[in-house]
C-alpha cells in the first residue's frame, strides 16, 4: 500500500471514529444483520458527505491535508457504499453487505494504477494530497 492509500485509509478511520463517538452518544442503537448498525453507517455517511459538500474535505481529510476534487454531486455518489447496506440489511440481514462493499471499494483502489477506487471513478473524483500528487485525475 502506498503513502496515498495509507493516508486515505487513516482519514477514513478518523471519520469513522467520530461517527462512533456520536453513535455511542446517541445510545448505540442495535445492529441489524451481520454489519454495523444502520445508524452508525448513516452517521459515517453524514460526517463524510456534509463537510465535503461545504469544504471539499471530511474531518479526516482536513487533518491529513487531502482534498477531494470533482463535480458538486461527487460526495453524494462517492459515499453511497456507506448507505446502500442500510436497506439491504433489512431485506437480507444474513449477508454482510457493508463488508462486501467496503472490500470491493478497497480492492478497486489497490488495483487501479492511479489509486482511484471504483467509487472515485463513478463520482469522477480524485483525492489529492496537498503539496504532492496523491491520485491524479485520469
Averaged pLDDT, 98-103:
84
**105 closest CA partner among 129, 132, 85:** 85
The torsion angle over the Cα atoms of residues 129, 2, 107 and 14, rounded to 10 degrees, is -50
Residue-wise pLDDT for 76-94, tens only, equals 888 888 888 888 888 888 8
Q: Which residues contact 29 (CB under 8 A, 6 or more apart)?
A: 23, 37, 38, 39
Half-sphere exposure of 65 (CA within 13 A, CB side): 6
Residue-wise pLDDT for 1-27, tens only, equals 567 778 778 888 888 888 888 888 888
- pLDDT at position 50 over 80: yes
In the chain, where the domains are located: 3-129
- CA angle (60, 43, 76) in 5-degree steps: 75
Q: What mean pLDDT value characterizes the chain?
A: 78
Amino acid at each position: 500500500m502506498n503513502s496515498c492509500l495509507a493516508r486515505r485509509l487513516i482519514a477514513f478511520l478518523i471519520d469513522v471514529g467520530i461517527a462512533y463517538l456520536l453513535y455511542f452518544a446517541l445510545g448505540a442503537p442495535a445492529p441489524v444483520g451481520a454489519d454495523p448498525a444502520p445508524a452508525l453507517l448513516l452517521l459515517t455517511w453524514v460526517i463524510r458527505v456534509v463537510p465535503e459538500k461545504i469544504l471539499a474535505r471530511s474531518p479526516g481529510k482536513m487533518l491529513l491535508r487531502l482534498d477531494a476534487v470533482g463535480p458538486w454531486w461527487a460526495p453524494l455518489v462517492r459515499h453511497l457504499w456507506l448507505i446502500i447496506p442500510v436497506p439491504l440489511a433489512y431485506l437480507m440481514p444474513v449477508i454482510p453487505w457493508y463488508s462486501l462493499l467496503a472490500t470491493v471499494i478497497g480492492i478497486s483502489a489497490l488495483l487501479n494504477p492511479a489509486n482511484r477506487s471504483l467509487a472515485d471513478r463513478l463520482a469522477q473524483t480524485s483525492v489529492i494530497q496537498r503539496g504532492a500528487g496523491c491520485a491524479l485525475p485520469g
